[in-house]
Structure 1
Amino acid sequence: MTERRRTTTAFATAALSGLLCALAVAPAHAAGTPRGWEADALGLAAAQRDAQGEGVTVGLLDTGVVADHPAVKGKITTGPDFRKGTITPSSPEWGYHGTHMASDILKVAPKAKILSVRVNSEEDKRDDGSLAKTDGTPLAKGIVYAVDHGVDVISMSLGTGEVDDYADEDTALAVGYAVSHGVTLLGGAGNGGDKLNQPSAPGGLAGVIAVAATQRGGGRADFSTVHTYNEVAAPGVEIAGAKNTGGYERIQGTSPATALASGVVALMLSKNQKLTPAQVRSILTRTAHHPSGGWNAEVGYGQINAAAAVKRAASPPADKTAPIGHKGTEHFATPVGTPKTTHPNMEQGLWLTGLGAAGAGLLMLIGGVLVAVLGRRKAATAGMVGGGTWPSASGPLPR
């Protein structure tokens, strides 16, 4: 196991990137994995002259990986299956999503290692092809297992996508556990941008770097979720990767964008294994191709610049985040006197006043509707008196 950075950190909301020195070394990539426009968009050729993921282990929390595919063979360690669905390793669906994600990571960081932990299944696929997060327990267990088994970065191309099931306590605690152990986490922003645009977890959780998807030219892919938690973006349209049954295929989504971004982080950590999650975040966001205004909810701080990120990793900004211990009996509510662990009693007068106002508004609305209906009936009656006729029971209805 490589030497790990175990610096205790808190979460920061800026990210990093840096420009690469060109060396006379030919860049390598996963055997046979086709490269498309994403290689130029990320600046991989220059980035891989400086680092290729040596000494870095990426924890891939997904549907499992077909480890003997030529694109990933020799680079995969298979961990436990926390999902345990009806699909088994002998099923043709096994590892469809995860195998593609693994090859995307290795396309960027060809000398990295991957720890595959199964927390999802093809049974969880939505109509748009994205993977739903089944519940917090498999994912939380997967995060803790990956941290405890020496990963340096965790890639999570999955998410909830339901407004009423945004996040859970188990996953939030596991994310905090990972960050406190110096492990950087990345998650997809979500694929609901052209539908309900629901928020997604774990990508939207504090401590996780949310990755949006871009199309050619660096603009947001139509499906990529638009949200304030978006921090960086990576190519997510027509991304070629390994197919679990053999060969390669192209897919789209914030899933491949997250895997590619995780590969870039592996390059950065290969350059400097002492980087903290806060420094990784800061470098990615600072060196990305910023949109107009520097940031927006579509692509965050913009499409990742891998070459710049790796170069900046050698001399990162200072990590000013630090945990602060609680001392004494005082708390944030002082001097009001509200305990930290309980909620104050609701001010009944305030909510009763609001309820009364809402009731009055509802009565006024109902009254307005009744007035309008009665007015229409009077007008209709007046029209008939003036010579109008009702349609015949046997005749055509008026259009």
Structure 2
Amino acid sequence: MTKTVLRGAAVALSCAALAVLPAVPARADALRAQEWALQAVHAQQAWRTTKGAGVTVAVLDTGVDANHPDLDGQVLPEQDLVGFGAGPGDTAWAQHGTGMASIIAGHGHGAGRQDGVLGLAPQARILPVRVILEDNDPQRGRARTEKAGALADGIRWAADHGADVINMSLGDDSSSAHPEPREDAAIQYALGKGIPVVASAGNGGQKGNHVSYPAAYPGVIAATAVTHVGARARFSTRHWYATVSAPGFDIVMADAGNGYLSGWGTSPAAAFVSGAIALIRSAHPDLSPAQIRRLLTSTAQDSPEGGRDDDYGAGLIDPAAALTAAGDLKPTPQKPSPAAYADRYFGPGPTAGDAADSPVNWLPWTAGAAGLALVAAAVVLWRGRRTHP
């Protein structure tokens, strides 16, 4: 890997803020040393059983850069349900989606693949479904009226085109967020086909703590975020729908192009949960979404008193323990869950008056709402062949 240094500017994607972080060399050893999350979830132990071979994870996001060296050969052709906005090579393209894909299935590169970042399921495939634009895309406002329903369409498309897991590191946790029948029905459709669905719990823990969708739809596995010391990340939304927690602070991931970034949010937490499910599905492909959910919750680390709470759900994911427990299970027939909230609507999404109460500013698209709010917010970009200013 080309020796690089960290740029000092970190763009907080969900709220357009800037932060300055110390420069750190982006050498292979430095990158791998920062991947504390893999140790926290016992990835090495899980890899003794499987690394996710044979599993396809749909990443519903801003697009994925299939040419990044850490994803080369892992990414299937993309389905673009937005149809406009930035494209490959633009700065406002696929940053977030590429990062999430690398958390799930990054395999590193170079001799022995010792360079770059490793995902939790490094042999899984990625199916990119572009349903939103990056926050800094100049055309993101067009989706308010033109692309309503992209998320619902993306869920159904992924379910019909080979997805074994659906990851949604996105959502709307503004004060006006409501369930939308099309999205709810699409999720029930995917669950009925035996496909687990994962979403970010929300980044509004310090800004209103509003319910977030799609995380709150019935059957969705909602991920909250923890830090490297196992504490709830302060930004992580706390609600009844929290299923499990996963690392979501100082997470190293790939950036579009050949660079890297480090960020925080319940977006990376959801990606880790999807990676864990990819490992389970690789070893036990016939388990139902309900069985996989129970495996994750029953084997979670640091389970709260009483078995769950709104901060951590059932606790920190432990895919190694889940794989062990799965050996005693027999697949059960999948029974589709009934759609819920059919008499409610999604709402107009964040407005200027809501801005102080919500971190959402990620392209509202479903009825002018769902933004990529649950993003890696404090993003530090590594760029090859650059020096620190």
The TM-score normalised by the length of structure 2 is 0.70
- Structure 1 residues 45-194: aligned runs within 5 Å: 45-106=44-105, 107-123=119-135, 137-194=149-206
Residues of 1 paired with 2:148 and 2:168: CA distance?
13
Bigger shift: residues 102-111 or 35-44: 35-44
Residue 309 of structure 1 pairs with residue 307 of structure 2: no
Q: Deviations over 1:16-53 (max 9, x none)?
A: xxxxxxxxxxxxxx999635210111000100111110
Which of the residues 210, 233, 251 maps onto 2:263?
Answer: 251
Residue 290 (structure 2) aligns with: 278
Displacement of 1:317 in angstroms is 6.5
Which of the residues 195, 202, 209 maps onto 2:221?
Answer: 209
Residue 40 (structure 1) aligns with: 39
Residue 300 of structure 1 pairs with residue 299 of structure 2: no
The higher-RCO structure (CA 8 Å, 6+ apart) is 2
Is the CA contact 1:136–1:170 (under 8 Å) kept in the aligned structure 2? no
CA spacing shift, 1:33–1:188, aligned 2, 3 Å: same
Is the CA contact 1:71–1:103 (under 8 Å) kept in the aligned structure 2? yes
Secondary structure of 2:149's counterpart equals: helix
CA spacing shift, 1:69–1:317, aligned 2, 3 Å: same
Residues of 1 paired with 2:327 and 2:161: CA distance?
26
Residue 232 of structure 1 pairs with residue 251 of structure 2: no
Is the CA contact 1:230–1:299 (under 8 Å) kept in the aligned structure 2? yes
Which of the residues 266, 271, 275 maps onto 2:278?
Answer: 266
Residues of 2 paired with 1:97 and 1:324: CA distance?
31
AA partner of residue 250 (structure 1): S
Task: Point out the structure with max Rg over C-alpha.
Answer: 1
Is the CA contact 2:42–2:319 (under 8 Å) kept in the aligned structure 1? yes
* % identical aligned pairs: 41
Any runs of at least 4 consecutive aligned residues in structure 1 with deviations exceeding 6 A, and if so which?
30-33
Bigger shift: residues 162-171 or 254-263: 162-171
Displacement of 1:121 in angstroms is 1.0
Displacement of 1:166 in angstroms is 2.3
AA partner of residue 243 (structure 1): D
Displacement of 1:85 in angstroms is 3.8
AA partner of residue 214 (structure 2): P
Which of the residues 207, 225, 233 maps onto 1:195?
Answer: 207
Is the CA contact 1:232–1:303 (under 8 Å) kept in the aligned structure 2? yes
Is the CA contact 1:104–1:260 (under 8 Å) kept in the aligned structure 2? yes
Query: Which runs of 5 or more structure 1 residues have no equivalent in the other structure?
Result: 1-29, 126-131, 326-340, 343-399
Displacement of 1:246 in angstroms is 2.1
Residues of 1 paired with 2:292 and 2:277: CA distance?
7
Q: Deviations over 1:226-259 (max 9, x none)?
A: 0000010000000000011322121000001111
Is the CA contact 2:192–2:337 (under 8 Å) kept in the aligned structure 1? no
Displacement of 1:87 in angstroms is 1.8
Residues of 2 paired with 1:207 and 1:124: CA distance?
32
Secondary structure of 1:297's counterpart equals: coil
CA spacing shift, 1:323–1:150, aligned 2, 3 Å: closer
Bigger shift: residues 241-250 or 269-278: 241-250
Residues of 2 paired with 1:138 and 1:89: CA distance?
20
Secondary structure of 1:257's counterpart equals: helix
Secondary structure of 1:213's counterpart equals: strand
Residues of 2 paired with 1:315 and 1:297: CA distance?
29
Q: How many residues align?
A: 291
AA partner of residue 187 (structure 2): V
Secondary structure of 1:76's counterpart equals: coil
By percentage of residues, which structure has more helix? 1
Q: Deviations over 1:330-371 (max 9, x none)?
A: xxxxxxxxxxx99xxxxxxxxxxxxxxxxxxxxxxxxxxxxx
Residue 287 (structure 1) aligns with: 299
CA spacing shift, 1:161–1:323, aligned 2, 3 Å: closer
